[in-house]
Structure 1
Amino acid sequence: MTSQTRTAITTGDGVRIVYRFDGDENKPVLLLSNSIGTDLHMWDGQVSALTEHFRLLRYDARGHGASDVPSGPYSLDRLGRDVVELLDALGLQRVHVLGLSLGGIVAQWLGIHVPERVDRLVLSNTAAYLGPANQWDRPIAELLEASDMQVTAERFLHNWFPARMLQGDDEVVEGFRRTLLATQREGVAGSWAAVRDYDLRRTATLIHNPTLVVAGEHDTVTSADHGKELAATVPGARFTVLPTVHMANVEAQAEFVDAVVAFLTEQS
């Protein structure tokens, strides 16, 4: 396996987006898109298994990780175009896309707006709509007024992982906690604004790329019903439910990777 250290592009609006490759450059590229409050390391546990089949392209979304943190609300259109500009800069015409949570929303945007850049889509623990919009205004305001990420970090962790993983000093959970605490509040708030303002319930019908929707049976952020509704909206989409909370890639790593690989490598 070959790997590459982090490097970056600069988008048309002047934001530096950090990315990295892992795996054999002769294999098909699989782009991984992250949830709010994480960076490209949210996929660390899956890299070894996935690089047996793919060259992975991971990136820190604007507002997260080592990428720039512009102020103000972000839009889904801007988050999607960040990915398009990344693919353009790297000379990648067509890739598989796997997105989880907000990453799954960005993946939907790609399937709707630039389907020619996408081979197959995996939409994990995500939804076509997370309204009503006004429910997001107070959390955004409270976060921007807070002195740090402490309260928001603990809320995220309890929404992401089962109780058994939150008890004690689970090494994986601690890694996510460190990332959350290091994330700038403006990045999370800006991304929440993108979630507040998006609604793909109608336009998701325009996705015609082969699509797998993965849901968590116990997910309280994007419920199994959200996943089922999304799968019913995307023409021909497949649907699978794993016995997890929100971070299905972490909690049920083997089952998650098996489902993703089986779908992405299936012969047409």
Structure 2
Amino acid sequence: MKIADFGDVRLHYRTDGPDDGPPVVFANSLGTDMRLWDPVLPLLPAGLRVIRYDKRGHGLSGCPAAPYSMGSLVTDAEKLLDHLGVKDCIFVGLSIGGMIAQGLAVKRLDLVRGIVLSNTGARIGTQALWDDRIAAVRAGGIESLADAVMERWFSKAFRATPELELWRNMLARQEDTGYVGCSAAISGTDFYTTTASLRLPALGIAGDEDGSTPPDLVRETIGLIPGSKFHLIRKAGHLPCVEQPEEYARVLTGFLRDTGHI
């Protein structure tokens, strides 16, 4: 575990694998930390340089005062990759992490040779939806939303397992300020025009029971990028890397091979 100090925020990050391995960067969803990727990483090919980090307001990273802008979240990722000397990575982003992936690819194509847009959109939700969610967190904390979020995050079958408590606890123990800050960033983001300008290898991944970013949204977003591919994971919700890690790893590995990254 390491901390990078960028002045306005300190980011917790972790690298695994050889320093000269092909870099793959993972960005988490709203309300989760870098442990989101634990089920998938052991299933990926050996030799990758795997980089994970907690975005501002989440996990062990610093939590500046809300609200945040999507620009600041993209800049955080940019500064981290520059700090680590990363070029030409595959950037895997889930939900808000997928928005960060889109913004970073537009801003710094030298850093990113391909993107995986998992359970995300060029725009997610509406201003009113996020305003209501922010008000609810300010009034009653993340705990007040936790059960409803679990219904959107996971399939009915997974919600019946004891493992659900792990993810509910992860969500509820995030900083309220960080959740509000990143919710505001999502609320203010519409990447339809900018994402449509991208020309790089891209893969979209969706879960067929995703209540946050339904498959049609993911398909529409990835379809903005010419030559992109789309994969639907069945029996999975918003976090298919948790519910179906074997399939997720297989699809991701295929993309790494198809792009010549490994």
Give the TM-score category using the shorter length. Answer: over 0.9
TM-score, normalised by the number of residues in structure 1 = 0.92
Q: Say whether 1:254 aligns with 2:249.
A: no
Tell me what 1:44 maps to.
38
Q: Name the SS of the counterpart of 2:196 in structure 1.
A: helix
TM-score, scaled relative to structure 2: 0.94
Report if aligned partners of 1:111, 1:208 keep a CA contact under 8 Å in 2: no
3-state SS of paired residue (2:206): strand
Cα gap change, 1:207 to 1:161, in 2 (>3 Å): same
- Matched residues, number: 259
Among candidates 45, 48, 59, match of residue 54 of structure 1 = 48
8 Å Cα contact 2:24-2:50 kept in structure 1: yes
SS at match of 2:57: coil
Percent of pairs identical after alignment?
A: 33
Residue 176 (structure 1) shift? 1.6
- The one-letter code matched in structure 1 to 2:92 is L
CA change 1:267–1:89 in 2 (3 A) is: closer
Tell whether the 8 Å contact from 2:40 to 2:248 is kept in structure 1 after alignment. no
Partner of 1:3: none
Q: CA RMSD in A?
A: 1.4
Cα offset for 1:156? 1.9
| 8 Å contact kept, 2:201–2:259 | no
For 1:260 and 1:62, the matched residues in 2 are separated by 26
Give how far 1:190 is off.
0.6
Q: Which consecutive segments of 4 or more residues in structure 1 shift more than 4 A?
A: none
The answer to whether the Cα contact below 8 Å between 2:57 and 2:177 also exists between their aligned partners in 1 is yes
Preserved contact between residue 114 and residue 201 of structure 2 (Cα < 8 Å) = yes
Unaligned runs of 5+ in 2: none
Deviation string, structure 1 residues 242-268 (Cα, Å, up to 9, x no partner): 112111111111111111110112255
Structure 2 residue corresponding to 1:216, chosen from 202, 207, 211: 207
- Give the residue type in structure 2 aligned to 1:227: V
Among 110, 114, 134, the alignment partner of 2:108 is 114
Distance 2:259 2:59 in 1: 36
Q: Which residue in the other structure is 1:235 paired with? A: 226
Identify unmatched segments of 5+ residues in structure 1: 1-5
User: How far apart in 2 are the matches of 1:81 and 1:239?
Assistant: 27
Amino acid at match of 2:105: G
